[in-house]
A = this chain, B = another copy of it.
Amino acid sequence: MNTWSSQSRSGQNPLRTEPGVLTMYAMQDKENPCIITILETYSSDEAYKSHIASEHFQKYKQGTLHMVKNLELCDQTPLNSDNIITNTIIQYCKTKST
């Protein structure tokens, strides 16, 4: 399956493998499902630059290029510096019943 959703799942890898990638949270607008928003936070400018140069990102970027009609990068200032946001990826484990 080559959908945006399956591509964005591969985009979760940075949360597991790149310590400087703190948040990567994708959302789809309920009223207009063509609008996808991804909240990304990084520990530093260097972490961001390192991420976009990574193999993971390039794979995601190339895999979604034909799906994206318009892309806006909206750089934000967090308003409360003592309010930290992070991501957790739930790992599903299959267990054998005994």
Interface string of A55-98 (1 = CB under 8 A from B): 00000000000000000001111111011111111101000000
B87 touches A83 (CB 8 A): yes
Q: Which of B5, B29, B86, B88 contacts A76 (CB 8 A)?
A: B29
Q: Is the CB–CB distance between B84 and A27 below 8 Å?
A: no
* Copies of this chain, count: 2
> A51 to chain B: closest CB distance in Å?
16
In which size bucket is the chain A interface? 35 or more
Q: In this assembly, does A53 line the interface, its C-beta being within 8 Å of a C-beta of chain B?
A: no
Hey, which chain B residues are within 8 Å of A4, CB to CB?
Answer: 79
Chain B residue nearest to A81 (CB atoms) is: B90
8 closest Cβ pairs, A-B complex = A27-B76, A26-B79, A82-B90, A30-B75, A84-B88, A28-B77, A25-B85, A5-B79
Question: What is A's interface to B at a CB cutoff of 8 Å?
Answer: 4-5, 8-9, 12, 15, 23-31, 33, 36-37, 39, 74-80, 82-90, 92
